Amino acid sequence: SDTQRAWALENLHSSGQFRGQRQMQEAVWTLTPTGTKRRTVYDAAGATTLPGKLVRSENDPPSKDVAINEAFDGSGAVYDFYLAKFKRNSVDDKGMRLDSTVHYDHKYDNAFWNGQQMVYGDGDGSLFNRFTISVDVIGHELTHGVTQYEASLSYQGESGALNESMSDVFGSMVKQFVNKQKATKADWLIGQGLLTKKVHGVALRSMSAPGTAYDDPVLGKDPQPDNMKKYVKGTQDNGGVHINSSIPNRAFYLAATTLSPTGYSWDKAGAIWYEVLCNRLRPNSGFADCRDLTIQVAKDLYGAAEQKLVRKAWKMVGL
């Protein structure tokens, strides 16, 4: 089949027998039909060399290692979500392979997209569990890849907080898609299950009630603001990209639940945000730009009633 020929091309390339990376990519794209998931999972075995040892590829049986299977299944769910709801064919919309590395470093308390692949730590077991445990976190990391290929939001200040927010918005929708949850039935938490039982908290972040996800003697209190009036300035965290992302996050939560009171987040709000991410935002766009663009796209896609609800959602977070 074409798919098998595409994989054969990639294998030839990996073994150094094929022409250039670019030509190889183009050959793979033209041979791989939309809807073909191409996933790999690697094991860093506690080290930081990427990608590590290949431990699972498409069509392989499940591993005995739960983190390997969660990375594999989670990236599959993210692929399925983007294709089913936005007709998007992988991170680059050209069928790009989804590569993940698990067991990165020792007791590593994070997960990240490195510009080419996902990377997951095991957590220290004291504060954090393994980072593959929450499918919204997998959706969050892969959406950094989508943003890189689309709006390319600069990772600092307001554009960086929008970049972070897009990852939470689509990560949360991935979880709602997997759980078949309507907007008003979702918990709107990011990273539920990631904090150990020892921690006083329920998740990494709350999109509906920012600032309430945890309050713990070791971790401190969830620092996220629920309104532009409380925007956190400073140089830490690239100007608070993981802090102030809660402001556009809550605008999305309010838009999704009011635009689709009996439906799904992606029905209207998700479709608006997706169009804005892919075709309207620019690398240096800020919160007010995102507000104006989502208000405009609500009118373009749906009409005046929807436009009014999106305007109201942003107004409620001080924009």
Catalytic residues: 141, 242
Tell me the backbone φ, ψ of residue 117, rounded to 5 degrees.
-155, 170
The tokens for 68 are 């390997």
Q: Which of 28, 111, 243, 317 binds ligand ASN (CB under 6 A)?
A: 111
Binding of ligand ASN by 69 (CB under 6 A): no
- Crossing angle (nearest 10°) for helices 21-31 and 2-14: 160
- Give the C-alpha separation, 84 to 93, whole Å: 13
234, 240 contact by CB (below 8 A): yes
111 vs 290 by CB, closer to ligand ASN: 111
Handedness of CA 100, 84, 255, 190 (dihedral sign): negative
Interface characters, 111-150, with Zn ion (x: CB under 5 A): ----------------------------------------
| 81-110: contacts with ligand ASN (CB under 6 A) | 110
From residue 248, how far is each of 97, 131, 156, 252, 254 by CA, in Å? 30, 24, 15, 6, 10
Closest residue to ligand ASN, based on beta-carbon distance: 112
| 156-195: contacts with ligand ASN (CB under 6 A) | 164
Residue 144 Cβ, how far from Zn ion at the closest point, in Å? 6
Binding of Zn ion by 245 (CB under 5 A): no
String of DSSP letters for 39-104? EEEEE-TTS--SS-EEEEETTPPPPS-HHHHHHHHHHHHHHHHHHHHH---STTSS---EEEEES-
Residue 131 Cβ, how far from ligand ASN at the closest point, in Å? 8
241 vs 272 by CB, closer to ligand ASN: 241
141 vs 306 by CB, closer to ligand ASN: 141
Binding of ligand ASN by 135 (CB under 6 A): no
Cα within 13 Å of Cα(67), Cβ side: 22
Residue 160 Cβ, how far from ligand ASN at the closest point, in Å? 10
Binding of ligand ASN by 141 (CB under 6 A): yes
Handedness of CA 181, 187, 191, 193 (dihedral sign): negative
110 vs 156 by CB, closer to ligand ASN: 110
16 vs 234 by CB, closer to ligand ASN: 234
- Across 125-274, where does the E strand assignment appear? 189-190, 205-206, 215-216, 220-221
Binding of ligand ASN by 112 (CB under 6 A): yes
Residues in the chain: 319
Q: Under the rule (CB under 5 A), what is the footprint of Zn ion?
A: 164, 167
Q: Under the rule (CB under 6 A), what is the footprint of ligand ASN?
A: 110-112, 140-141, 144, 164
